Amino acid sequence: MSNKLIIYQLLPRLFGNCNTTNKYYGSVEENGVGKLKDINGKALAAIKAMGFTHIWYTGVIEHATMTDHSAIGIKPDDPDVVKGRAGSPYAIKDYYDIATDLAVDPEFRISEFKELVGRTHKAGMKVIIDFVPNHVARTYGSDVKPDGVRDIGADDDTSVAYSPVNDFYYIPGQHFQVPQGYDPGGDGFTSPLKDGKFDEYPAKATGNDVFSATPSINDWFETIKLNYGVYRPDGQKNELSEPPPLWYKMKHILSYWADMGVDGFRCDMIEMVPVEFWAWLTPQMKQAYPGLIFIGEAYDKNQYSNYVHNGGFDYLYDKVGLYDAIRRLTCNDYGANTWEINAVWNHHTRGIDEHMLRFMENHDEQRIASRFFAGDAMLAIPGMIISATLNKGPVMIYAGQEVGEPALGAQGFSGDDGRTTIFDYCNLPELQKWVNNGTYDGARLSADQQQLREFYIKLLNVTAQSDALSNGDFYELMIANECQPGFDTKLYIYARYTAHEKVVVAVNFNNEERHVTIQLPADLLQKWEMNGAVTFTDMLTDSVFYTHDINAGISVTLNAMHGLLLKS
C-alpha cells in the first residue's frame, strides 16, 4: 500500500475561472474569479484520475482585497496596504473566515468550503490548506471568530515595542507610513481610501522582519509581523516561562479548520516563526487529530533537520536543493551536472530525505513553460521523473503545469516575470482549455498539451501504484556507471526497490539521445538475487528491455530530455 503523497496545488480563485478578459489590473467584474463550487465532482474525479492523493487549496482563508464587500457587512480594506486588486492570499484578514470572492453565496462561504472538503473526501483525496503563522494583513480583524475568542492584538500593550505577551511588535510614538511610489490598483483604480495613507498608530513591525514605521515598497508592507515572544526586535532571545497567548490562539485556529475536516496544513515561511512554537504545537495537534500532516515552506538547509526532528514537520520544501539542481539541468545552465543531485540527498537532506517535498512549480516559482525558465513545458520530463521517484516523500504539481501554462504578461501588481499572479484577478488560459467551460474534458487542448498531460498522468499513477517507487529503498548508480561508454554528467541513474519489485531509473538531461549500458553493482545484484537473463519493462511506455546477462548490464537508448523507469 502506497503512502506517498501526490499533491495538486490549485488556487480556487484561478482554477475554475472561465472569463478570458485578463485586463491589466482588472476588477473581479471584468476578469472574473473562480469559485469553490467550480471544483465540482467532475473536476475532482479528473484530478483523482491523474494520481493525486491530496489537493492543496491555496488562498481560501479570507485575505485583504481591494474589492468592496461592505454590502454583506465586511469592512473594506485600505488599498494602500493591499497588493493587487484581488490581494495577496498571504495577507490574512481573518483566520476564521473564507475569502468572500470564492463563494457563490457570500453569506454561506464557510458552508461552501465545508461542502468542498466533503466533495474532495468523497472523490478519494485529502485536503490541505495554508496556515500563515508569521504575519497578518494590516487590516486584520475577525468578524466570524467563535464566541470567547480574543482577536489577535486585542489585548496588547501598545506603549511598548516588545512584550512576550503582546501578539504584535510595535514602534511606539510613530505612525505607519505607506511606501512612497505605491500606486494601488494601477492608474485606473479609484477609491476614497486610495490616498497614500493608512491610519496605524503606533506603527507595527512589518511581516518580513522590518522593525520600522517606514517599510520600503519592496518589503511585505501590507502585512504585520506576529510576535511569538521568543525573539525581541533586536533578535535577542527571550526565555519563556510559559507559552504566550498567541500560541494558544494559533492552536485554536488550526483546530477550527481541522474540525471541518482539513487533513493537513502547508505552513508559510516556517523559519520566520520560532521552532519552539512548532515543537509545542505539532504534537498536540497530531494527538488531537491523528493523521494530520504539516508541510513547511523552508529555505535554510542548515535548519531542515531542526524543523523535522524538533519542529515536528512531516515534510519540508526541497527548493534550496533538488529544485535548484534540477532547474539548472533543465535550463542547461553552464556547469550544471547531475552530481548536484547526489549532493542534495547525500549532504543537504542527509537522514531526512524522505521528509522532503519535491516540485518543479508552485505559486512562488516561475512556470516551466515561461521564457524565464525552460520555455517549453516538455523539457520538465526528466526533472519530474526524478522529483516523483527519488524518495518516499511527496511530489507536487501546480495547476496548469500539466498543460504547459506559461504565465505570459503582467497582470497588475504581478509583473511579467514568469509567475502566475497570486495578487490579481486573472485566468489560466492554457488550463482553461482543459476546464473547457466547466466540462473538465480537455477537449480544447492541443495534441502537444494532451501528450504532456498524459505523461503526468502516467508518471504520477505509476509512482503511486509502485511499491518500490513509493516505499522502496534507494541505491545510487552514478559511481557504478560513470566510466561506461556514453555516460556523461547530464545522465542520472539510480534504483528503487523492495523485496518484490525492482526499478532502475535513468534520465537524460541532454538535448540529444544517449546510448548507455547501465551497470548494476555485484552487491546490488546479490541483494536482488538477480542473475543471468533478465527482462525489464519501462513503466512509462511499456517498452521491453531484455539482457542475456544482467552482469553485463542493461543496454538502453535514452531519448533527449526524457527517461526510463525500468521495472523487473
Q: What is the DSSP string of 135-187?
A: EEETT---SSPPTTPPPTTTT--TTSS--TT-SB-EETT----PPTT--TT-T
Please give the Cα distance from 380 to 466 (Å, whole number).
Answer: 21
Q: What CA–CA distance (Å, rounded) separates 58 from 362?
A: 10
Pair type for strands 395-398 and 473-476? unpaired
CA angle centred on 45, ends 44 and 48, rounded to 5°:
85
Residues 462 and 374: their CA atoms lie apart, in Å, by 25
With a CB cutoff of 8 Å and minimum separation 6, the contacts of 154 are: none
Q: What residue has cell string 494532451?
A: 450
Q: Give the tens place of pLDDT for each residue, 348-363.
A: 999 999 999 999 999 9
Hey, what's the cell of 327? 532547474
Which uninterrupted H or E stretch holds 397?
Answer: strand 395-398
Ranges for all domains in the chain classified under CATH 3.20.20.80: 6-171+229-465
DSSP β-bridge partners for residue 535 = 546
CATH topology of domain 471-567: Immunoglobulin-like (2.60.40)
Q: Tell me which residues of the chain have a pLDDT lower than 70.
A: 1-2
Domain 6-171+229-465, classified CATH 1.20.1280.260, yes or no = no
* Residue linked to cell 511579467: 416
- Residue 179 phi, psi (nearest 5): -55, 135
Residue-level pLDDT at 532? 97
By the 8 A CB rule, do 254 and 131 touch? Answer: yes
Closest Cα to residue 304, out of 266, 349, 336, 265? 349
Q: Would you say the pTM of this structure is higher than 0.85?
A: yes
C-alpha cell at 535: 527482462
Those residues with Cβ within 8 angstroms of residue 195's Cβ, 6 or more apart along the chain or in another chain: 80
Whole-angstrom Cα distance, residue 57 to residue 62?
A: 13
CB contact set of 218 (below 8 Å; sequence gap of 6+): none
Q: Which pLDDT score, from 0 to 100, does residue 156 have?
A: 98
**What is the predicted pLDDT for the residue at 2?**
66
Tell which residue, 536, 487, 477, 539, has the closest CA to residue 508: 487
Q: Supply the pLDDT for residue 3.
A: 87
In which residue ranges of the chain is CATH 2.60.40.1180 found? 471-567
User: Could you give the CA distance from residue 330 to residue 385 in angstroms, rounded to a whole number?
Assistant: 12
CA distance 492 to 513: 14
